[in-house]
Chain A
Amino acid sequence: MTEAKPVKDNQHTIYICQGTGCVSGKSLEITEALSRAVAETGLSGVKVDFTGCHGFCEQGPLAIVEPEGIFYTHVTIADVPEIVASHLRDGKPVERLFYKDPVTSQAIMYHNDIKFYSMQQRIILRNIGHINPERIEDYIAVGGYKSLRKVLKGMTQEQVIDELKRSGLRGRGGAGFSTGTKWEFCRNAKGDQKYMICNADEGDPGAFMDRSTMEGDPCTVLEGMTIAAYAIGASEGYIYIRAEYPLAVKRVRLALKQAEGKGFLGKNILGSNFSLNIHVKEGAGAFVCGEETALMASIEGKRGMPRSRPPFPATSGLWGKPTTINNVKSLATVPVIIAKGADWYAGIGTEKSKGTCVFALTGKIANSGLIEVPMGIKLRKIIYEIGGGIPGGKKFKAVQTGGPSGGCLPENYLDQSVDYESLTAAGSMMGSGGMVVMDEETCMVDVARYFLSFTQAESCGKCVPCRVGTKQMLDILERICRGEGRPEDTDLLQKLGEQIKAGSLCALGQTAPNPVLTTLRYFRDEYKAHIEEKRCPAKVCPKLISFYILPDKCQGCGICARECPTQVIVGGKRMVHVINQDKCVKCGTCLDACPARFSAIVKVSGETVDVPSEPTPVKAEKPKASATA
């Protein structure tokens, strides 16, 4: 732990996180209250400012006091007076708001000492949480737009492309193609007009890497995009952003306007011969538009349906012109590679997967949030050290990477290296960065059904195997979850899955069966239990579970009956309550409602519990406080 540094008089900036997570925890109001309190206290040297998403959403709302880097978690409006009086005025940081290490329970004052951050290597996310994303001056102050200047003042297109190729950067949208090579194809393609597109149509459920990058540091995306446009020779650019991300749209538009104002965009950028206009296009809610040919069709004002490749966009893209499409994170990396050099970047990561990758770590994990780690890191390190493990003492079951198209990997893959090749070999994929952790209470058949319901609904309908095949697979999975599975179903799913992969035009269909195929491969037992024993081992699938009130534990308090949303629990004062099994909707509200000291309700699957059918007087003795388990 770092020693406390002396706090200098009155020269602080307190940054409040205004990422989506913290905003829903009232961080806008906190910022306002802080500004007011600082003004009222007359602290002229203290600035109140805001940043994009720090990534540590679980601990929000977050605040950081610079220059010391003192980090506050779970800040509320009620904490504002104390922060202002004690810390900002008297120089005594407020210890009760420090992050508490979940293992050692130690309070940690500095941002850099928190394991969640110290184990990361932030390149793409380098500025997020430290600069105001709505002020280009802040970006310039941390070295922003130096790379663009370097490129335009002294690098040829070939030199930029060569630098990218040597860096080993691969597309962060998921496919993992060499970014430099992609640019080279487009630069060498014949055409009077070329286009540069930034793919910000982040549609994977459980993923918010691109969103946070655009909300937290939009300028770096624009700088990378401008460098890319220069390298390929494009004079027009498009950023395609989901309309569901209104804040990202707003911040990107603002960053565009500010860049134009500073001469980083528009005609004759920085006095060179290079000119570029960038337009923002808002997506209209179709997952398939993340696929590059569908995305281009959407920009052209058409239904976003993929087409076959070749021709690749590099030769025939938007309106038939040579086009390069890069993911947000690939572009955010570009300025750093130019600034620090290809050799530096290529020194990070594994032999074939260079640099860092960003993951949205979510699901059954203690530290949900946004992380950036070097390629080649082990899954175990991400989940247990950075992620803080599974909450509530539950057991790890699977980790799902690559969004709805990825696979679910079991425990024996925890020592798997995270890189493009290893994940693909295991039946999953890198994808664009979603990472969902599942524990023993997650049913793998239900998860496969969930993913398929998503891809099935999002299939554009062009290819028959994808349109009809995913529907058939979904029907089969639904009947398995209902307990109506047939013995031949697992083979049928396997066969259908392989056919859909082989017979679909775009990555949506080619990867849609992955969650089913990997769960069949690694969790076949769970399918078997559902089909043969009509049992859901994780006790999730509603048709296969039952709730019972144990007569030897029930105290007749009546809480469960009051909470039951369908009112199917009968009882009375000091009577053992009974659930009407025929009418129960298996919501589990009663289980949560039953006081822990009684623990009278059990959830079972594949078995029945012998309980009276009518309420009977309570016989059980009131448990003593010490007897509770």
Chain B
Amino acid sequence: MVTLAKDNLTKADVQDKLKEIFSHYTGDRQELIPLLQETQEKFRYLPAAAMREIARFLHIPESTVYGVSTFYAQFKLTPLGKRIIRMCRGTACHVRGASKVLAEMEKQLGIKAGETTEDMEYTLETIACIGACALAPTMTIENETYGKMTPKKVAEVLGDRSKAS
């Protein structure tokens, strides 16, 4: 069971933002996933109020929207940090020591994979494979790819953050 995030968004805020998204959809059931993707892009996660509005817009039960949102790894029901760090856990990365890099990253950020730092700066995720296996172990921060990672290079890619703290 995934719990929905408690947030300070008012229904009006959500409706306002969704109105613009809904304007380029027809309300057909098959639009659910693209709608959720665009909503998440806007809010950085799926607020409960938005999921309810989407259910109404597509004329489907709220439980269906919840079911689809929790089925796919892409959808997040809690707010994400400003920058998302994705650690590749692909096979090539695994055999070249990705788990040590992940452990170091968790240690430096003080959070576990799947969590967000308290200052909402970073969200740490693992990903099945980013398809840059020749650079294993790899990771990305937003759209930047970092290859041939080592535990030592973790501080380097986090850069100023670790120096500041």
Spell out A's residues near B (CB within 8 Å): 20-21, 23-25, 57-58, 60, 202-208, 211-212, 243-246, 281-282, 284-287, 298-304, 360, 362-364, 368-369, 400, 403-404, 434, 436, 438, 442, 447, 450-451, 454, 458, 460, 565, 587-589
Contacts A57-B134, A244-B131, A285-B72 given; 18 further ones with Cβ under 8 A? A21-B134, A57-B133, A208-B129, A244-B127, A246-B143, A284-B36, A300-B29, A301-B31, A302-B68, A360-B133, A362-B133, A363-B95, A369-B134, A403-B91, A404-B91, A434-B91, A451-B91, A565-B104
Docked pose: A57 CA to B136 CA in angstroms? 11
Please tell me if the beta carbons of A282 and B37 are within 8 angstroms of each other in the complex: yes
Contacts of A438 in B (CB 8 A): 95
Q: How many chain B residues have a CB neighbour from A under 8 Å?
A: 44
Question: Is there a chain A Cβ closer than 8 Å to B153's Cβ?
Answer: no
Please tell me if the beta carbons of B90 and A205 are within 8 angstroms of each other in the complex: yes
Closest to B100 in A: A587
Point out the residue from A25, A208, A434 that lies within 8 Å of B147, measured CB to CB.
Answer: A25
Docked pose: A334 CA to B60 CA in angstroms? 40
Contacts of A24 in B (CB 8 A): 132, 135, 138, 144-147
Please tell me if the beta carbons of B103 and A587 are within 8 angstroms of each other in the complex: yes
Contacts of A369 in B (CB 8 A): 134
Query: Known contacts being A286-B72, A301-B32, is A20 close to B131, with CB within 8 Å?
Result: yes
> Which residues of B (6-47) have their CB < 8 Å from a CB of A?
29-34, 36-37
Contacts of A287 in B (CB 8 A): 128
Interface pairs (19), CB distance under 8 Å: A60-B134, A202-B131, A203-B129, A205-B90, A205-B91, A205-B128, A206-B92, A208-B133, A243-B74, A246-B143, A286-B72, A298-B33, A301-B29, A301-B68, A303-B71, A364-B95, A369-B134, A434-B91, A450-B91
Docked pose: A499 CA to B8 CA in angstroms? 49
Please tell me if the beta carbons of B151 and A206 are within 8 angstroms of each other in the complex: no
Closest to B127 in A: A244
Please tell me if the beta carbons of A368 and B37 are within 8 angstroms of each other in the complex: no
Question: Is there a chain A Cβ closer than 8 Å to B55's Cβ?
Answer: no
Docked pose: A282 CA to B94 CA in angstroms? 26
Closest to A287 in B: B128
Sorted nearest first, the 4 A-B pairs with minimum C-beta distance are A57-B134, A208-B131, A206-B91, A285-B73
Among the interface residues A205, A299, A450, which one has the most CB atoms of the partner chain B within 10 A? A205
What is the CB-to-nearest-CB distance from A590 to chain B, in angstroms, rounded to a whole number?
12
Please tell me if the beta carbons of B94 and A450 are within 8 angstroms of each other in the complex: yes
Docked pose: A57 CA to B31 CA in angstroms? 37
What is the CB-to-nearest-CB distance from B157 to chain A, in angstroms, rounded to a whole number?
11
Docked pose: A158 CA to B142 CA in angstroms? 48
Contacts of A203 in B (CB 8 A): 128-129
Point out the residue from B30, B100, B144 that lies within 8 Å of A300, measured CB to CB.
Answer: B30
Question: Is there a chain A Cβ closer than 8 Å to B122's Cβ?
Answer: no
Contacts of B146 in A (CB 8 A): 24
Question: Is there a chain A Cβ closer than 8 Å to B52's Cβ?
Answer: no
> Which residues of B (142-160) have their CB < 8 Å from a CB of A?
143-147, 151
Point out the residue from B68, B143, B151 that lies within 8 Å of A303, measured CB to CB.
Answer: B68
Closest to A298 in B: B33
Question: Is there a chain A Cβ closer than 8 Å to B112's Cβ?
Answer: no
Please tell me if the beta carbons of A587 and B71 are within 8 angstroms of each other in the complex: no
> Which residues of B (84-112) have their CB < 8 Å from a CB of A?
89-96, 100, 103-104, 107
Among the interface residues B89, B90, B91, which one has the most CB atoms of the partner chain A within 10 A? B91
Query: Known contacts being A284-B75, A285-B74, A301-B30, is A362 close to B136, with CB within 8 Å?
Result: yes
Closest to B131 in A: A208
Contacts of B151 in A (CB 8 A): 565, 587, 589
Docked pose: A565 CA to B107 CA in angstroms? 9
Question: Is there a chain A Cβ closer than 8 Å to B130's Cβ?
Answer: yes
Query: Known contacts being A24-B135, A301-B29, A587-B100, is A204 close to B129, with CB within 8 Å?
Result: yes
> Which residues of B (53-70) have their CB < 8 Å from a CB of A?
67-68
Contacts of B72 in A (CB 8 A): 284-286, 304
What is the CB-to-nearest-CB distance from A28 to chain B, in angstroms, rounded to a whole number?
11
Contacts of B133 in A (CB 8 A): 57, 206-208, 360, 362, 368
Closest to B73 in A: A285
Please tell me if the beta carbons of A368 and B134 are within 8 angstroms of each other in the complex: yes
Contacts of B129 in A (CB 8 A): 203-208
Contacts of B71 in A (CB 8 A): 286, 303-304, 460
Docked pose: A299 CA to B30 CA in angstroms? 7
What is the CB-to-nearest-CB distance from A568 to chain B, in angstroms, rounded to a whole number?
14
Closest to B92 in A: A362
Contacts of B131 in A (CB 8 A): 20, 202, 207-208, 211-212, 244-245, 360
What is the CB-to-nearest-CB distance from B92 to chain A, in angstroms, rounded to a whole number?
4
Docked pose: A434 CA to B134 CA in angstroms? 12
Contacts of B92 in A (CB 8 A): 205-206, 362-363, 368, 436
Contacts of A442 in B (CB 8 A): 95
Closest to A442 in B: B95
Please tell me if the beta carbons of A20 and B132 are within 8 angstroms of each other in the complex: yes
Docked pose: A450 CA to B89 CA in angstroms? 9
Contacts of B138 in A (CB 8 A): 24
Docked pose: A360 CA to B135 CA in angstroms? 12
Contacts of A284 in B (CB 8 A): 33, 36-37, 72-75
Closest to B88 in A: A205
Docked pose: A360 CA to B36 CA in angstroms? 32
Contacts of B68 in A (CB 8 A): 301-303
Query: Known contacts being A203-B129, A362-B133, is A588 close to B100, with CB within 8 Å?
Result: yes
Contacts of B130 in A (CB 8 A): 20, 244
What is the CB-to-nearest-CB distance from A55 to chain B, in angstroms, rounded to a whole number?
9
Contacts of A25 in B (CB 8 A): 147
What is the CB-to-nearest-CB distance from B94 to chain A, in angstroms, rounded to a whole number?
5
